[in-house]
Amino acid sequence: MNRREIFGTALLGGIPRMVAGQPARSFELWVHPAIGDDAGPGTLPAPLKTLAEAARRVNRSEGTGPATIYLSEGIHSIGETTLLRPERRRFSKDARLTIRAAVLPDDPEWDTGRMPTLIHTMPLPETWNGRRDPAGGAANGMLVETSHVTIQGLKFLGYPVVETPRPGLIRRLYAISRLRGDLEDLEIAQCMFLGDDLTNPLHVAVIAMGDSVRVRHCVFRGSKITVVYWSGHSQGHEMTHCFCDSIYGSAVWTCGVQEDFDFRNNVISNCNYVWTWQPASWAAAVQQGRTPPETIRPEERMSYRVVNCHFAANRRLFGSGVGARQQYADLDPSWLKLVSTRVEDQTVPVERDQTKRNWLHPVEGTEAARLGAGLFLRSGK
C-alpha cells in the first residue's frame, strides 16, 4: 500500500469542504508517525512524522487563512511539548487553527482503532507555568498560545511515570494547556482522555485560562481531573455531552468563572467529586505562587445550572480545592441548580467491547446513554 492509499480514506472521512465566507487559501499539514519524515513537505502523499514539527511549521507560516494539522491513525509519541505560538499568522473564529484526526467518529469509515493515539514521552520539566515547580515537575502535552483553536478526534493517554515516588512529589501531565488569560475561543471536541493512576497518570486533561473554553462530546476515563477552567471571572465556557468515568479527583474544576457556564448533557459516574470550585482569588494566588486565602468571602459565592445530566455513584457532589495537591473540602451542593438532572447510587454500565463504536461509552439503551454523551455528534452509532 502506498502513502496515498494509506491516507486515502481521510479524503472520504470528513475533511471539511470550503464554505462560503471562508478564506480561499488555507494551510494544511499531514502527520503520520510510521511513514512520515520531518524533513519532507508535510503533504498528504509525503507527510511529516511528528506533531511537534507540524506545529513549528504553523508557527512560522504567514497569512490570515485557517491552518489544519491532520493526524493519521497510529501511535504518536509526544517527545516534546507541542507549542502552538504562531508568529505571523492570525486566526479568527471562522479561520481557525485546527488539530484533528484524519477520520472523525461520525464518519462511516471510523472505528475505535482509527483515533490517533498520543503517548507522552517527553522529559519531565522542573518548571511549570513560568516558575520552579514545588511538587517535583509537570509537563504540558500541548501548550496553546493563540486564540481560535480546535482540537478534535484525538485520543490522549497519560504519562508513564510514578506520580508520587516520594512524599511531597506530584509528577503531573497537563495534556492540553492554555496558560494565558488574554486568550479566547478554545474548542475541544470528540476526544478521549484515558489515564491510570498506577501506570500512566493523567493529572489534568485540559487546563485553560481566558474566555470561551468549550469542551464537548469527549470521553474522560481514569484521569485525576478532566477540565480546569482556570481564570476567575472569565466567561463563555461550555462542557456538554461528555462522559466522565472513574475520575479520581474531580470531574470538572471551575475557578470563579461567570455563571453563564453551559453545563449540560454530561454523564458523570464513579468519580471522587463531580464538581470542584474555588474562588477567583484562590486561583490567582496559585497562579502567582502565593498561598491562597483560607476562607471564601460571601461575595465570591457563585451558582451554576446543571441541565439534563446524569450523576451516578460519585463519592461527593460539590467541593472546594487548591492547586496540584487539591486539598478537597465539601461545599453546600445547593450552589448547583440541578435542572432535569438525575442523581443515583448505581454506577453507569460501560461498553467494554472494543469492536463496538461506542466502546467506553454508556451501554446503549441505558438511561445514561440517552443523553447523547460521548464522541458522536449525530445520534446513532
Residue-wise pLDDT tens digits, 5-48: 444 444 333 333 333 344 436 899 999 999 999 999 999 999 99
Query: From start to end of 155-257, where are the E strands?
Result: 155-157, 172-178, 186-189, 192-194, 204-208, 213-216, 219-221, 225-229, 238-240, 243-245, 253-255
Strand order of the β-sheet with 304-307 is: 27-31, 67-71, 97-101, 149-152, 186-189, 213-216, 238-240, 262-264, 304-307, 336-339
For 149-166, the pLDDT digits (tens) are 999 999 999 999 999 999
pLDDT at position 324, please?
Answer: 59
pLDDT at position 250, please?
Answer: 96
For 169-186, the pLDDT digits (tens) are 999 999 999 999 999 999
- Give the mean model confidence (pLDDT) for residues 59-74: 96
- Give the mean model confidence (pLDDT) for residues 121-146: 93
pLDDT bracket for residue 326 (50, 70, 90): low
pLDDT at position 192, please?
Answer: 99
What's the number of CA atoms in the CB half-sphere (13 Å) around residue 160? 8
pLDDT at position 280, please?
Answer: 78
pTM of the model: 0.91
CATH fold label, 72-371: Pectate Lyase C-like (2.160.20)
- Domain positions in the chain are 72-371
